[in-house]
Amino acid sequence: MRTGIATVCLSGTLEEKLRAAAKAGFGGIEIFETDLVTSPLSPEHVRALAADLGLGLDLYQPFRDFDSVPEELYRANLRRAEAKFRLMGRLGMDTVLVCSNVGTASIDDDALRAEQLHGLAELAARHGVKVAYEALAWGTYVNDYEHAARIVADADHPNLGTCLDTFHILSRGWDTEPIEKIPGEKIFFVQVADAPKLSMDVLSWSRHYRVFPGEGQFDLPKFLGHVARAGYNGPVSLEVFNDTFRQADVERTAVDAMRSLIWLEERTARHLAAEAAGTGSGAPSPAELARASRAYAMPLTTLPQVAPPTGINFAEVISADGAPRTAELERLLAQLGFASRGEHRTKPVSLWTLGDARIVLNRQQARGLEPAISALGFDVEDGVAAAARAVQLRAVPVPRPSQANEEILQAVNAPDGTEVFLCEDTRWVAEFGEDQADGPAADEGTDDGERSPSSAGTGSAGQTSAGQTSGGAGTARIDHINLAQPWQHFDEAVLFYSSVLALTPEASQDVSSPSGLVRSQVMQTADRPGGRAVRLALNLAPWIQSDSVKGARTDTFQEHVAIEVDDLVAHARACRGRGLPFLPIPENYYEDLDARYDLEPAFLATLRELDLLYDRDARGAFLHFYTASVGSVFFEVVQRLGGYDGFGAPNAPVRHAVQHAARHGG
C-alpha cells in the first residue's frame, strides 16, 4: 500500500514536514496550499528536495469553491485554476484536489456541475493534471461521496476522478459499501482520518478533532476493505486536522502517523481475510491473512500476529540509590506486605513480591529525580514475535546490553518513556537474591547473550520463588496500572497500546480534580471468567509535561500500581498494623456513600475506620484504598467482588482532591 501524509497534519515549516515525513518512511505527501505559500522555498526547490528525500508529491490541495456557480464566476474560476496548474507543473505534481463548493455555490444542478467539472478537467488535461473531486461533509449541495462519484461519472472525462475522505464519509454516517461500485480507476485519491464520535457541527469536528487511524472510533478497516475491492491502488494518505499534532514535535508525530497506517493496513488485511473466510470477527488463519493481503490490486503488508497479553508480569519503579525517597519507597512496600527478594546479582536493583505481584525497584536513577514508574512487564506467548511486531510498528527497542547469565528480555519504549517488556515467563526473578547460582538461568549465559527462547530452562524454579508469599497474604496480583500521559502523546499512546499490545480502548471518561479535568482512558484485554488479564488506565492532564526522563517531570502528576488481594479489609488492617501511610479519606465521602448505597452501619464504620473506598457496578462491588505518594508514585490495593469490572471511577475525584491537598500542604 502506498502511504502518504498531508502537510496539514504536521507542525513546522514545509521543509521540516517533508524531512519528517520522509524519515518516518512515507511514500508521498499532500501539499497544502498555505504550506507552499508561506514557504521561502521556490516550487522548483520543493520539487528537488522531495526528489532527494525519495518522497512523492502526490496531491496539491485544496482548490476550493469551483463548482455550482454562474457562468461569469465559472470563467474566473478556470483562470484561477490555470494558475494553479502552472504552479503544479513547476512542482512536478499531477493531481489536484477540488473540494465541493461550500462558499460561492448558488446553483443546485447536477448537469451544470458535471459540465463545469468537465471543463476544468479539459483545462487540466492540457497541463498534464488530474482533478480529484471530493465531497466535503458540509458542502452546500454536494456532501455525499456517492453524489460526487455520480457527477464525476456524468462528466465523463479521463482527467476527472473522485477523492474519498473517510472523515467526510463516516462523520455523516454514509454507508461505505457502495464504494465498491465506483470503478477503481475513477478513485483518484484516498484520504484517511479517524475521529472520536462527538456531537458537534461537522466542520469544527473535522478541523480540530481528527486523529490518526486507530486513535478514534471510525471503522476504517471496513472502509479501506471496500476501497481495495473497488480495485484502487493509489496513495492512502493521512489528512488529519488536529490542534495537538499541529504543535507537537514533528518527527514524533510523523512516526505516530506512520504507525497508524501500518496498523490500518494490517487491520484491513485482517478484515478482508475474516470476510473471505466468513469467520466474522474471529481471527483469520495465517494462510487466510496471506491470501487477503495479495487478493487485490492494492497489496497489504501484514505484521506478526500476537495475542493480547495474559497478565502483568511486573512493574518497575525507578528511584535514586541511597536517596531518602528510595528508603521511603522500600518502607512503603514492606508496609504493604511485600517481601524483599533480594538484590539483582549485577545491578543496584531489588525485587519485591506479594503473591504474584512483582515490583522491581531500580535504583539506577540519577540523584535529584523523583521516583517514577519506569517499566511494565506484560506476559506474552512469544516475546520475539511480539517485539518484532512492535518494531515493525515503529516502536523503539530499549537498548539493553546483555550480561552473561541474564535473561534476554524484549522491550520497547512506550510514547511516554515507560519501558514495555514482553515477558514469556518469570525466570528473570532467579537473578535476584543470594541463591542465584542455583537459578535455572545461571548456566545458560554466553558472551553474546543470544539464545532462543525455547532453549531456555523450564522456568519453574523462577515461577515458584516469585509466586511464594510471605506474611500469609493469600493470593495477590497486579490488578491494574495507571500511567500519567503528557497531553502531546495521549492519542499516540492509545494507538501504541492497541497496535503493539493488542489492548482494547474503552470509552474515555473525564474526572474532576482540583487542578483541572483529567481524561481517563482505560485500555484492557477482553472480559473473561475470573476477570480481565490486563487493565491499564492512561490519565491525560494538561499539566503533565513531556520529558524524555520520567522522573524529571515535576511531581504534580501521579501514577500508580494497584494490587488485587483476596481479603481487602484484613489486608488493610495488617497494613495499618505495619504503620502504612494511607491516603486519608474525608468524612463527607462516607456520608455520601451512605446516602447512595444505604450500607450496613458496621460495614460503613469499617470503611471509615480504615480509609477504604467502595463502589458498585451491575455485577458486583469494589473495595479499595490508596497509599500516600512517594514522588509521583503511589499504590492502590483493591478487591473485586462478584466480577466487578470497573476502577472505582466515582471515587477518583476524592483521590485527586486528597492528593492535591497533600501536595499543597493542605
Residues binding Mg ion (CB under 5 A): 165, 191, 239
Report the alpha-carbon distance of residue 114 to residue 242 in Å, rounded: 33
**Least distance between ligand DHB and beta carbon 61 (Å):** 6
What phi, psi does 164 have (nearest 5°)?
Answer: -100, 130
Which CB atom, from 117 or from 137, has the smaller least distance to Mg ion? 137
Measured between its terminal Cα atoms, the distance across the chain in Å is 57
User: Where does 94-151 show beta strands of DSSP type E?
Assistant: 95-99, 130-134
For ligand DHB (CB under 6 A), the number of binding residues is: 11
Which CB atom, from 239 or from 316, has the smaller least distance to ligand DHB? 239
* Residue among 207, 347, 578, 596 that touches ligand DHB (CB under 6 A): 207
* Residue among 134, 424, 444, 492 that touches ligand DHB (CB under 6 A): 134
Cell 528508603 belongs to 327
Q: In this chain, which residue has its C-beta nearest to ligand DHB?
A: 62
Which CB atom, from 30 or from 479, has the smaller least distance to ligand DHB? 30
What phi, psi does 64 have (nearest 5°)?
Answer: -105, 155
Cis peptide preceding 221, ω within 30 of 0? no
The option from Mg ion, ligand DHB, none interacting with 615 (CB < 5 to 8 A, set by class) reads: none
Instruction: Print burial letters for 569-582: b (CB count within 10 Å at least 16), e (below 16).
Output: bebbebbbeeebbb
Cβ–Cβ under 8 Å, residues 600 and 288 = no
Report the alpha-carbon distance of residue 195 to residue 242 in Å, rounded: 10
* 140 to 169: interface string for ligand DHB, x by CB under 6 A: -------------------------x----
Give the cell for residue 244: 495537538
**Least distance between ligand DHB and beta carbon 241 (Å):** 6
The option from ligand DHB, Mg ion, none interacting with 62 (CB < 5 to 8 A, set by class) reads: ligand DHB
Report the alpha-carbon distance of residue 254 to residue 249 in Å, rounded: 9
Task: State yes or no: residue 316 binds ligand DHB (CB under 6 A).
Answer: no
Which CB atom, from 239 or from 425, has the smaller least distance to Mg ion? 239
Which CB atom, from 189 or from 589, has the smaller least distance to ligand DHB? 189
Task: State yes or no: residue 62 binds ligand DHB (CB under 6 A).
Answer: yes
Task: State yes or no: residue 206 binds ligand DHB (CB under 6 A).
Answer: yes
**Least distance between ligand DHB and beta carbon 174 (Å):** 14
Cis peptide preceding 178, ω within 30 of 0? no
527 is in an annotated binding site: no
* 67 to 106: interface string for ligand DHB, x by CB under 6 A: ------------------------------x-x-------
User: Where does 584-620 show beta strands of DSSP type E?
Assistant: 613-616
Task: State yes or no: residue 611 binds ligand DHB (CB under 6 A).
Answer: no
Cβ–Cβ under 8 Å, residues 495 and 259 = yes
Cβ–Cβ under 8 Å, residues 495 and 261 = no
Report the alpha-carbon distance of residue 28 to residue 21 in Å, rounded: 8
468 is in an annotated binding site: no
- DSSP 3-state of 470: coil
Work out the angle at residue 300's Cα, subtended by the Cα atoms of residues 295 and 304, and round it to the nearest 5 degrees.
Answer: 115
239 is in an annotated binding site: yes
Which CB atom, from 167 or from 378, has the smaller least distance to ligand DHB? 167
Task: State yes or no: residue 4 binds ligand DHB (CB under 6 A).
Answer: no
Cβ–Cβ under 8 Å, residues 325 and 370 = yes
Q: Name the binding residues.
A: 134, 165, 191, 239, 480, 560, 636
Q: Which residues in this chain contact ligand DHB in the complex, by CB under 6 A?
A: 61-62, 97, 99, 134, 136, 165, 191, 206-207, 239
Q: Name the binding residues for a divalent metal cation.
A: 134, 165, 191, 239
Q: Name the binding residues for Mg(2+).
A: 480, 560, 636
